[in-house]
Amino acid sequence: MYLSKSFIPILKNNPSEAKIKSHQLMLRVGMIKQASAGIYSWLPLGFKVMKKIETIVRQEQDKIGAQEILMPTIQTSEIWKESGRYDDYGEEMLRIKDRQNREMLYGPTNEEQVTDIFRSSLKSYKSLPQLLYHIQWKFRDEIRPRFGIMRGREFYMKDAYSFDITDEDAFHSYNKFFLSYLRTFKRLSLTAIPMAADTGPIGGNLSHEFIILADTGESKIFTDKRIFDLTSEGTNLEKSSLEQMRKKYEQFYSVTDEKFNKEEFEKMVLEKNRLITKGIEVGHIFYFGDKYSKAMNAAVDLPGGKKDFVKMGSYGIGVSRLVGAIIEAKYDEKNEIMKWPLSVAPYDVAIIPMINKNDSSALEKANNIYSELNKNNIDAIIDDTDENYSSKIKKMNLIGAPYQIVIGKKSEGDLLEFKEVDGESQDLPLNKIIEIITKQKNSN
Amino acid sequence: MYLSKSFIPILKNNPSEAKIKSHQLMLRVGMIKQASAGIYSWLPLGFKVMKKIETIVRQEQDKIGAQEILMPTIQTSEIWKESGRYDDYGEEMLRIKDRQNREMLYGPTNEEQVTDIFRSSLKSYKSLPQLLYHIQWKFRDEIRPRFGIMRGREFYMKDAYSFDITDEDAFHSYNKFFLSYLRTFKRLSLTAIPMAADTGPIGGNLSHEFIILADTGESKIFTDKRIFDLTSEGTNLEKSSLEQMRKKYEQFYSVTDEKFNKEEFEKMVLEKNRLITKGIEVGHIFYFGDKYSKAMNAAVDLPGGKKDFVKMGSYGIGVSRLVGAIIEAKYDEKNEIMKWPLSVAPYDVAIIPMINKNDSSALEKANNIYSELNKNNIDAIIDDTDENYSSKIKKMNLIGAPYQIVIGKKSEGDLLEFKEVDGESQDLPLNKIIEIITKQKNSN
């Protein structure tokens, strides 16, 4: 793809309305464009990143046996009246009257909708457990939308729901999602820490937020810093393996603001291990038993002939928010260098030929390299404009393809000037470059 | 995947509320569930089919050089006031007031939104042509939603927009989409015929609907039946090649109701070639010049230093509607047999083992076959229930995997009972079955 033909409207300067670096970069480099307060269009660069994040989220849901569905954005108020949340939800719920004057709403979450689907579909314990998820737009009518897509009104979210008969089975489902979240964030090159959290308007008594550290985060967190060294490596989907993983994480104090207890913190965590900082919530999981199934009469036949309400949990990942969260974690604002993790990068490589008016040889060379990379499933963008070197590098540093190939006047023979976007140049032949990138891609 | 663990709630009988066969089958076999009037949730079976259709639509957009973006569902009324369509659109537009009392709406289409993006992003003829598309939920508040997802209120649509400087360039863009639509429908095993059509509320003076024949269709059509023998084979993206293709199609009379002229029809079409019938609209393309760009001031600098409004077209495919359209075209209602085109089938093969309480050998055999198919990228579902033969076949005929492998008592040795869902059984070894399916898959 030629930069001149791609729809990437780059701004010369940082937009003044953006207060945090993800918002700045996303506007600056044309990833998004505001449509109205808290509502954004995703332009090709932003769209590509979000789609890659969505794919990773989907794959990790599929791996734990969750099945994908798709619920509508517009819901009827009736099911929310059944659950009792219609009045509770307040002004954050976007309420709509259709032409027949029926009360509708733009779904802020889907516990009611999925419970309605479940109760009319399955009747027997034999069909359980069931894990259902969907990836769909949500709307929360924030009073003060801010920070671009980090706290927008229309946002893209993966939400999953589990259905079981017993608490024990339900905890097993909960732990599967716990694992899938750790794996998902790892593939996005994020260190997301599970923290005991409040359940808020979703309800229930067990909940974890997954939080990445960031100065611009809105969540205050209190942890034992040793939790950052843990991994989910070696865990499988068996009940006992998942329980061990939960225990491993829960041995360290790690809570959000609402759950914070000073005395407990100081008792449980040695001073040298205490970390009090801010973070961004990228995932949130809940167990709430029969809160919705009881209110909405979602019951199944049990082995003995009795019936019981199913036990449910819900599990959310902010897909659009993750685009911003990755920028917050990876963008070097001072040097204006973005380095996307290769797993979600809009392009794998930027090819930067120095083009003179009377000499198209560098562009030709770029085209040949492009087609060779393409054959090897490496996605590249060529800056085919006739701007100068520093202007080209500046743009490509913002776009953030993790690798760059510079074709200058001195590029003779088979060696190419190759660098990581934030690294030092080295001269390598194209086959070696392909080898490096392919190896890196396959490691995810 | 085991049928007993999958979320496929099959009904014993046809639902009485469904009037056309796609609506019947989709409810019967648990592809969708109604959420409220004209609004549906997509359950795993329906979701898988829709997602595969979406992927084919996307690939064919990418092939003509269109770039994917994603505009929000909720739009501000301001841009619709600029274009002058806010009042025109009437009650089909779902109008919303947010908590700040701002006038918003759920986008029924995106000409205004994309023109707003364009005008703030690109300023020079050098960046043209641009083809942008997105695949997003739309809402039209139909007074009488009916026929399931065929005429629902919330629906999933691909809409694309082209931007050029001259009419001639714009027709070139128009023809690229014309070609991509023919290719898209062909990959979905649909014979969709382009017909000269009215432009309606979109505006402009050039428009084609792509229509598939179906008794239940809502479009009345008048054609020279020889148009059904044409293909887009051999056409490339060059201007002249595309023009030839357009001419080839336009030599035959082919119009929808609003464009129909009896005299012309009888003059241009010999009686033996006349076809007057009904069809389903699955795509619609429009050229409307500067209708929106002028009203919304979307202009670019021209080579000479002047400015001019860009010439635009828009191009829609009903992604969710196509699920229903394919069923209308392929479902044998009388024998209750659905045969999905392999390119969009929810499963490639159904494995149907006959299971006795005291003998798990058929299920074991099914598991082995499943894992062998899986290794060859063939997606199968196993009916692991202990129901009888005819009940199992009946279910799988409705689910519509195009191939079936039956494992009965007499299944000894290496030969398996293999059939197309609507065909005759033959005994084949597994490697031969894999060969047949793989060849068929690769042909798309």
Please check whether residue A144 lies inside any domain of the structure.
Answer: yes
Mean pLDDT score, B361-387: 96
In this prediction, residue B393 carries a pLDDT of: 96
Residues 77-96 of chain B with CB under 8 A from chain A are: 78, 91-92, 94, 96
Does A355 fall in a domain?
Answer: yes
Nearest to B35 by CA among A330, A112, A418: A112
Q: Is the dihedral of CA B383, B387, B392, B394 positive or negative?
A: negative
Q: Are A127 and A74 members of one domain?
A: yes
Residue-wise pLDDT for B35-81, tens only, equals 999 999 999 999 999 999 999 999 999 999 999 999 999 999 999 99
Is residue A299 included in any domain, yes or no?
A: yes
- Residue A74 confidence class, pLDDT cut points 50, 70, 90: very high
Q: Tell which of B330, B362, B397 closes a domain.
A: B330
Establish if A300 belongs to a structural domain. yes
Nearest CB to A47; choose among B70, B76, B113 = B70
- 10 Å CB burial of residue B226 (0-12, 13-18, 19+) is middle
Q: What's this model's pTM, rounded to 2 decimal places?
A: 0.97
pLDDT at res. B410: 64
Looking at the predicted structure, is the pLDDT value of residue B412 above 70?
no
Q: Is A337 part of the contact surface with chain B (CB cutoff 8 Å)?
A: no
User: What is the residue whose two structure tokens read 């593939």?
Assistant: A187
Q: Which chain B residues have a beta carbon less than 8 Å from that of A104?
A: 36
Task: Give yes or no: residues B134 and B232 share one domain.
Answer: yes
CB B227 within 8 A of CB B254: yes
**Cβ proximity of A375 and A334 under 8 Å:** no
- Cα–Cα distance list, B341 to B46, B187, B281, B398 (Å): 14, 9, 19, 14
B68 and B179 within one domain: yes
In angstroms, what separates the C-alpha of B368 from chain A's closest C-alpha? 19
The CATH number given to whatever domain includes residue B144 is: 3.30.930.10
Tell me the shortest Cα–Cα distance from A382 to chain B, in angstroms: 15
A237 close to B (CB below 8 A): no
Tokens standing for residue B440 = 């068929």
pLDDT digits (tens, 9 = 90+) for A166-195: 999 999 999 999 999 999 999 999 999 999
Beta-bridged to residue B407, according to DSSP, are B353
Q: What's the number of domains chain B is made of?
A: 2
Do A68 and B137 lie within an 8 Å CB cutoff?
no
- B9 near A CB under 8 A: yes
pLDDT of residue A203: 78
Chain A CB within 8 Å of residue B331 CB: no
Same domain, residue pair A394 and A423: yes
| Binary contact (B94, A96; C-beta < 8 A) | yes
CA distance A257 to B18: 52
Q: What is the rounded CA–CA span in Å between residue A352 and residue A345?
A: 17
Interface contact flag, B76 A35, Cβ < 8 Å: yes
Q: Is residue A365 in some structural domain?
A: yes
Question: Is the CB of residue A139 less than 8 Å away from at least one CB of chain B?
Answer: yes
* Nearest residue on chain A to B115, alpha-carbon basis: A35
What percent of chain A is predicted at pLDDT more than 70? 99
Contact A141 B98 (CB under 8 A): yes
pLDDT at A146: 92
Examine the domain organization and report whether A319 and A356 are in the same domain. no
Which residues does chain A have within 8 Å of residue B119's beta carbon, measured at their own beta carbons? none
Q: Distance between CA atoms of B160 and A101, rounded to whole angstroms?
A: 32
Answer yes or no: is A341 within a domain.
no
Domain boundary among B297, B330, B363: B330
- CATH number at B362 reads 3.40.50.800
| pLDDT value of residue A416 | 95
Q: What is the pLDDT of residues A281-309, one digit of tens each?
A: 999 999 999 999 999 999 999 998 899 99
B321 and B399 inside one domain: no
The angle that helices B21-28 and B319-330 make with each other, rounded to 10 degrees, is: 100
pLDDT at A37 (0 to 100):
97
A179 or A413, greater pLDDT = A179
Is residue A405 assigned to a domain?
yes
Same domain? A276 vs A399: no
**B69/A104 touch (CB, cutoff 8 Å), yes or no:** no
Whether the CB of A122 is below 8 Å from some CB of chain B: the reply is: yes
pLDDT confidence tier of residue A230, bands split at 50, 70 and 90: very high
The range of the structural domain enclosing residue B431 comes to 349-442
Higher pLDDT, B235 or A413: B235
| Angstrom distance (rounded) from CA B1 to CA A431 | 41
Considering the domain architecture, whether residues B209 and B323 belong to the same structural domain is answered as yes
Is A410 near chain B, with CB under 8 Å? no
Where residue A412 falls among pLDDT bands split at 50, 70, 90? low
- Please say which residue of B330, B360, B382 terminates a domain: B330
pLDDT of amino acid A113: 98
Tokens 């019947």, located at residue: B24
Instruction: State pLDDT tens for residues B282-341.
Output: 999 999 999 999 999 999 999 988 999 999 999 999 999 999 999 999 999 999 999 999
Say whether both B268 and B354 belong to one domain.
no
- Mean residue pLDDT across chain B: 95
Residues A353, A293, single domain; the answer is no
Flag whether pLDDT at A81 surpasses 70.
yes
pLDDT of residue B216: 83
B144 and B252 share a domain?
yes
Chain A: residue whose CA lies nearest to B68: A44
Give per-residue pLDDT as tens, A253-267.
Answer: 999 888 999 999 999
**B264 contact A CB<8A:** no
Structure tokens at A426: 């080295």
Rounded to a whole number of angstroms, the distance from the CA of B36 to the nearest CA of chain A is 6
Distance from the Cα of B123 to chain A's closest Cα (Å) equals: 10
Residue of A49, A99, A132, A137 to mutate, interface with B, max B Cβ within 10 Å:
A99
**Res. B180 pLDDT band, cuts 50 70 90:** very high
Do A356 and A219 belong together in one domain? no
Which chain A residues in 44-83 lie under 8 Å from chain B, judged by CB atoms? 44, 47-48, 50-51, 67-76, 78
In a domain, B291, yes or no: yes
Give the nearest partner residue to B67 out of A44, A127, A154, using CB atoms.
A44
